[in-house]
Amino acid sequence: MTVPADMTTAQPLLHVQGLGVRFAGTEQPACEEIGFTLAPGEILGIVGESGSGKSVTCRALMGLLPENAALDGRMRFEGQDVLLADRRASARLRGPGLSMIFQDPMSALDPLMTVRGHIALRSPADPAPILRQAGLADPGPLLDAYPHQLSGGQCQRVAIACALARDPKLLIADEPTTALDVTVQAGILAQLRALADDHGMAVIFVSHDLAVIHQLCARVLVMHRGRVVEQGPVHEVLTAPRHAYTSRLIAAIPRPALRGQRLGLEPGATPAAPLPAPRAAADVPVLAFDDVTVRYTRDGQPFDAVRQVSLTLHRGEILGLVGESGSGKSTLAKTAVGLARTARGQVRLLDEVLDWTRPRMQWRRDVQYIFQDPRGALDPAARLLRQVRLPLDIHRAGSRAERDSRARALLAETRLEPELYQRKPASLSGGQRQRATIARALALAPQVLICDESVSALDVSIQARVLNLLMDLRETHGIAILFISHDLGVIHHLCDRVAVMRHGALVESGPTGQVFDAPQHPYTRQLLDAIPLLPDAAVPTPAARNAFAEGTA
Amino acid sequence: MSWVVLRLGRALLTLLLLIAFTFFTLAMNGDPAAAKFGPDIDPETLEAFREKWGLNYPLWKQFLIYLDGIWRLDFGLSFRTGRQAWELVSARLPATLALMLPTMFFSIALGVPLGIYAAAHRGGRADRLTIIAAVIALAIPAFLLGLLLMYVFSVWLGWLPPSGWVGWSSFLMPVATMAVSTASVYARFTRSAMVEVMSHPMIETAEASGLSRRLIRRVHALPNIALPLITITALEFGNIITYAVVTESVFAWPGAGRLLIESVAGRDYAVVQAIILLTGSTMILANLLADLAYGWVDPRIKDARRPRPHRKEARA
């Protein structure tokens, strides 16, 4: 890759050359031939899917890789040459030179140590200004708090403060906002930008989310299978990608412009044909929440997780349920399968009131629930085919042979290859696992599918496949889907109607277009403003997408 | 505060259950009068004996009388000696404690550093040797180890007194016998806890801000392994008591453990109950202290029963 001219003239802070990592016992290097340059105060994005080697690259720079990793290449940091294989040399730069924050903010901190203790370990200075610099406006009451008393966003800010306490020249941020709500994410991104602008701190920002990269970074590296396939100014890379992989990555992102269409990406597979426009919701209500209130007891105090929510899901409709963590969206959905009980109001399935004190087997067939973590939802010891057949076995649907062939048909419908049927979950990818849980959910021909953050943990290309599959299912089976997500981009792309929840109450609901284009409630507006957007020009034309889909893999 | 009261209440309830359980189990174990005199005794003597020891009352009344007695540390008279059971037991206690406390001390002082050392050299030769040694130490039954030591150091080398109590050198072999297996439990637990803590993301965060590995081990890892170690200490207390019973028999140590075996053999209810209740209360006390220590070390535990603080996102 060539380095843009203006970058070479300015005195670079960091110059990386020929970085490569190979783990002992593996054939394929985790990454190789990675090179880039970073100026002081610059924010560089690294984008790629899981396993593309972006985290490994960052840890190689920090000297944080385990002993079984063989490192190659060199870096020049503030005029100081370091061989990356020399972990001690890169370890010496940690702290005042480079620092790093990680994806899971809740476990980045010591559960037994106060915020003050964390900062004091790193700097003798007064902790309050450092925390303020990290974006905690009023650090006073937080100083003696323990991590479990903080929210995810606060934890991440404390982690940033931990890094800032050593006054680093370069902060490497590895997916720091992936686990956070959009509004919290927006705050962290603004904070990182302010640190770069005001303090001249350079930032390497790693993310799988191109929109976030676009919002924050000036330049981006696109990584694929351990290599940098493309690098350049973000806008250029997004609007005129030079590498086929970048184009596919962009095409896989759900966006308003691609609404109701297949996300084109599967090379050689289905061309990106627009699906029939979402049918006007056939007015057959399948699942109805009437004035539902769910009450928990928290330390003797009654606490309403859901407050008087009324919502109807029609046949063949995809209804999006949006809200931040703790807004009660999952709790509401769980009342439909008896995992949460209503304190007031009722849930009706096909005009029958669900009374879970006297459950009917039929209800368990008609409503199926798909959770976020497919690894946790599958039995690690059982083969895939058996797991998909299990619901049929439990409900004694047909003979053994019939059940077996039905399970095979379901797995085929979710586009899982036959050679995977006898595998166990551990040897599958996240997307394959999630498709298996969908196949299992479909086994009993349900009326309603509840997807609770079912694509949140997946890479964009895998997410696109699952979204395409859900759209197909709606078309072919007329199944109604309640789709819960905090990702507004996905909701906008997929859903016919949207309901927004906050603090357990429904704040707004309506057709997707209406809610997104003319939000009525200030909270909805706040949510929408927080979504990082791609430039409009990044949307490839259908013709271009077809070209990518057909084959330049 | 209410948290402490709750733990205390739970401990007391467990104690009460323990007393009831001991009493009824032993009461079901046959008629002590018949056991004492055999089948040839005349009925009047038998009746007089039953009258004297309150064996004619209904069971629940015997239990209440018993409870009342325990409250005053009166466990009744020993059948065999006719002396107060508590007097017998308390006379033997110091000898047993003199074995248990040093055992606990040496187990921790030996096992914990060994475990930390093994974890720091994870996968290396030092690690493997430590694990193998710990497994062997754990696999040898206490009585066998005791006899082995006795053979080597008393019979063969003649360095140490083989049994009984003759001076401080008498401690060495019994304490070693008990401490070896307990120390190996500590070593293995410390090692696995340490390995687990060191793979926690907070360690990487600390390393990323340039803290030295030594400092990280001290400020992050050690407090975090304290939690599982507290649990183990409470559990090992029970094991040490078991070891004490065996070890005291092997070395003819004048402790409560040997008294227990003698009393069980002679169906001496009062003494057996006194010892069982004493060990049980020790265990309950150890667990209570462990619970309280947990709450003291880990701020999450006290908070688990409090309303969560209102989570407010600070504005950027």
pLDDT of residue A325: 78
Beta-sheet strand order (sheet of A219-224): A98-101, A170-174, A202-207, A43-47, A219-224, A227-233
Residue B131 lies in a domain: yes
Report the SS3 class of residue B151.
Answer: helix
Structural contact between residues A62 and A94, judged by C-beta atoms closer than 8 angstroms: yes
For residues A458-483, give the mean pLDDT: 85
- Give tens-digit pLDDT for A332-342: 999 999 888 89
Would you place residue A8 in the very low, low, confident or very high pLDDT band (cuts 50, 70, 90)? Answer: very low
Nearest-by-Cβ selection for B224 from A112, A122, A145:
A112
Residue B305 lies in a domain: no
- Shared domain for B102 and B20, answered yes or no, is no
User: 10-residue block means of pLDDT along chain B (316 residues)?
Assistant: 81 90 77 70 79 78 84 81 86 89 92 92 88 89 86 83 75 88 92 91 90 90 91 87 87 86 83 86 90 85 54 32
The reply to whether residue A99 touches residue B315, judged by beta carbons under 8 angstroms, is no
B203-226 in b/e form (b: 16+ CB < 10 A) is: bbbbbbbbbeeeebbebbbebbbb
For residues A280-296, give the mean pLDDT: 83
Structural contact between residues A451 and A483, judged by C-beta atoms closer than 8 angstroms: yes
What CA–CA distance (Å, rounded) separates B228 from B226? 6
Question: Using CA atoms in the order A459, A464, A470, A473, what is the torsion angle rounded to 10 degrees?
Answer: -130
- Give tens-digit pLDDT for A157-216: 899 999 889 889 999 999 888 777 888 888 889 988 998 988 889 999 998 888 889 889
Percent of chain A at pLDDT above 90? 24
- The residue whose two tokens read 């966003």 is A153
- Shared domain for B100 and B232, answered yes or no, is yes
Structural contact between residues A484 and A333, judged by C-beta atoms closer than 8 angstroms: yes
Q: What is the CA radius of gyration of chain A?
A: 25
A2 by Cβ neighbours in 10 Å (0-12 / 13-18 / 19+) ranks as exposed
Q: What is the enclosing helix (H) or strand (E) of B27? A: helix B2-27
What CA–CA distance (Å, rounded) separates A12 from A14? 6
Question: What is the number of alpha carbons within 13 Å of residue B120 lying toward its C-beta?
Answer: 13
B42 by Cβ neighbours in 10 Å (0-12 / 13-18 / 19+) ranks as exposed
Nearest-by-Cβ selection for A108 from B201, B223, B314:
B201
Residue B139 lies in a domain: yes
Report the SS3 class of residue A27.
Answer: coil
ipTM for the complex shown: 0.76
Q: Total domain count for chain B? A: 2
In this complex, is the C-beta atom of B38 within 8 Å of any C-beta atom belonging to chain A?
Answer: no
- Shared domain for B112 and B56, answered yes or no, is no
What CA–CA distance (Å, rounded) separates A26 from B255? 60
A288's tokens? 């109805």
pLDDT for residue A5 is more than 80:
no
Which among A62, A112, A144, A523 is the top mutation candidate for probing chain B, defined by the most B β-carbons within 10 Å of its own β-carbon? Answer: A112
What CATH number does residue B222 fall under? Answer: 1.10.3720.10
- Give tens-digit pLDDT for B17-73: 988 888 888 777 666 666 667 777 777 887 887 777 777 788 888 888 888 888 888
What CA–CA distance (Å, rounded) separates A31 from A19? 8
Q: Which long-range contacts (CB under 8 A, 24 or more apart) does A62-68 make?
A: A62/A90, A62/A94, A62/A98, A62/A100, A62/A172, A62/B207, A62/B208, A63/A87, A63/A88, A63/A89, A63/A90, A63/A91, A63/A93, A63/A94, A64/A100, A64/B204, A64/B207, A64/B208, A65/A21, A68/A23, A68/A24, A68/A25
How many Cβ pairs closer than 8 A exist between chain A and B? 116
Structural contact between residues A175 and A15, judged by C-beta atoms closer than 8 angstroms: no
Q: Which residues of B touch A186 (CB under 8 A)?
A: 316
Residue B40 lies in a domain: yes
Nearest-by-Cβ selection for B211 from A121, A135, A138:
A121
In this complex, is the C-beta atom of B214 within 8 Å of any C-beta atom belonging to chain A?
Answer: no
- Give tens-digit pLDDT for A408-447: 988 888 878 888 888 888 777 777 888 889 889 988 889 9
Average pLDDT of chain A to the nearest whole number:
84
- Shared domain for B121 and B250, answered yes or no, is yes
DSSP A32-67: EEEEEEE-TT-EEEEE--TTSSHHHHHHHHHT-S-T
Is CATH 3.40.50.300 the right assignment for the domain spanning A5-97+168-240?
Answer: yes
DSSP annotation of A468: H
Nearest-by-Cβ selection for B305 from A62, A145, A299:
A299
What CA–CA distance (Å, rounded) separates A490 from A459? 13
Closest chain B CA to residue A112: B298
Kindly report the nearest CA distance between residue A71 and chain B, in angstroms: 18
In this complex, is the C-beta atom of B297 within 8 Å of any C-beta atom belonging to chain A?
Answer: yes
Which among B220, B313, B315 is the top mutation candidate for probing chain A, defined by the most A β-carbons within 10 Å of its own β-carbon? Answer: B313
- The residue whose two tokens read 């005129």 is A240
What is the maximum alpha-carbon separation in chain A? Answer: 75
What CA–CA distance (Å, rounded) separates B137 from B106? 15
For residues A102-116, give the mean pLDDT: 88
Closest chain A CA to residue B304: A299
Closest chain B CA to residue A136: B314
Question: Using CA atoms in the order A143, A146, A150, A155, what is the torsion angle rounded to 10 degrees?
Answer: 80
pLDDT of residue A80: 87
CB contact set of A506 (below 8 Å; sequence gap of 6+): A309, A310, A311, A499, A500
Beta-sheet strand order (sheet of A497-502): A367-370, A448-452, A480-485, A318-322, A497-502, A505-511
Q: Global pTM? A: 0.77
Q: Which residues of A touch B208 (CB under 8 A)?
A: 62, 64, 94, 98-102, 163, 172
- Shared domain for B216 and B114, answered yes or no, is yes
Residue B84 lies in a domain: no
- Shared domain for B44 and B137, answered yes or no, is no
Helix B85-120 and helix B269-297, axial crossing angle in degrees, nearest 10: 40
Q: Which of A170, A175, A168, A159 is nearest to A54 (CA)?
A: A175
Q: Are strands A170-174 and A202-207 parallel, antiparallel or unpaired?
A: parallel
pLDDT of residue B311: 36
Residue B65 lies in a domain: yes
Q: Which long-range contacts (CB under 8 A, 24 or more apart) does B303-311 make?
A: B303/A146, B303/A148, B303/A149, B305/A299, B305/B2, B305/B3, B305/B6, B306/A299, B307/A298, B307/A299, B307/A301, B308/A149, B308/A298, B309/A145, B309/A149, B311/A150, B311/A151, B311/A326
The reply to whether residue A146 touches residue B300, judged by beta carbons under 8 angstroms, is yes
pLDDT of residue B313: 33
For residues A496-514, give the mean pLDDT: 91
Q: Which of A486, A505, A375, A490 is nearest to A433 (CA)?
A: A375
In this complex, is the C-beta atom of B210 within 8 Å of any C-beta atom belonging to chain A?
Answer: yes
In this complex, is the C-beta atom of A270 within 8 Å of any C-beta atom belonging to chain B?
Answer: no
What CA–CA distance (Å, rounded) separates B20 from B58? 15
A66 by Cβ neighbours in 10 Å (0-12 / 13-18 / 19+) ranks as exposed
Domain range for B248: 92-298
A453's tokens? 């953050």
- Shared domain for B294 and B156, answered yes or no, is yes
pLDDT of residue A241: 87
In this complex, is the C-beta atom of B303 within 8 Å of any C-beta atom belonging to chain A?
Answer: yes
Q: Which of A259, A222, A294 is nearest to A501 (CA)?
A: A294
Higher pLDDT, A388 or A254: A388
- Shared domain for B157 and B221, answered yes or no, is yes
Structural contact between residues A535 and A239, judged by C-beta atoms closer than 8 angstroms: yes
DSSP A377-422: HS-TTS-HHHHHHHHHHHTT-S-HHHHHHHHHHHHHHTT--GGGTT
Structural contact between residues B279 and B291, judged by C-beta atoms closer than 8 angstroms: no
B-facing residues of A in 495-534 (CB < 8 A) are: none
A258's tokens? 């691609």
Beta-sheet strand order (sheet of A344-349): A301-314, A285-298, A344-349, A352-353
Strand partners, A451: A370, A483
Question: What is the number of alpha carbons within 13 Å of residue A284 lying toward its C-beta?
Answer: 11
H-type alpha helices, B78-221 = 85-120, 125-139, 142-149, 169-198, 201-208, 213-216
Residue ranges of domains in chain A: 5-97+168-240, 377-446
Phi, psi of A509 (to 5 degrees): -150, 155
- Shared domain for B17 and B155, answered yes or no, is no
Structural contact between residues A142 and A131, judged by C-beta atoms closer than 8 angstroms: yes
Q: Which residues of A touch B202 (CB under 8 A)?
A: 107-111
- Give tens-digit pLDDT for A23-41: 888 788 888 899 999 999 8
For residues A482-498, give the mean pLDDT: 88
- Shared domain for B216 and B257, answered yes or no, is yes
- The residue whose two tokens read 């290097």 is A29
Residue B265 lies in a domain: yes
In this complex, is the C-beta atom of B206 within 8 Å of any C-beta atom belonging to chain A?
Answer: yes
What CA–CA distance (Å, rounded) separates A220 from A1? 12
pLDDT for residue A547 is more than 80:
no
- Shared domain for B27 and B149, answered yes or no, is no
The reply to whether residue A148 touches residue B300, judged by beta carbons under 8 angstroms, is yes
Report the SS3 class of residue A203.
Answer: strand
B37 by Cβ neighbours in 10 Å (0-12 / 13-18 / 19+) ranks as middle
Residue B311 lies in a domain: no
Q: Which of A155, A263, A203 is nearest to A14 (CA)?
A: A203
pLDDT for residue A298 is more than 80:
no
B45's tokens? 């003597």
B199 by Cβ neighbours in 10 Å (0-12 / 13-18 / 19+) ranks as exposed
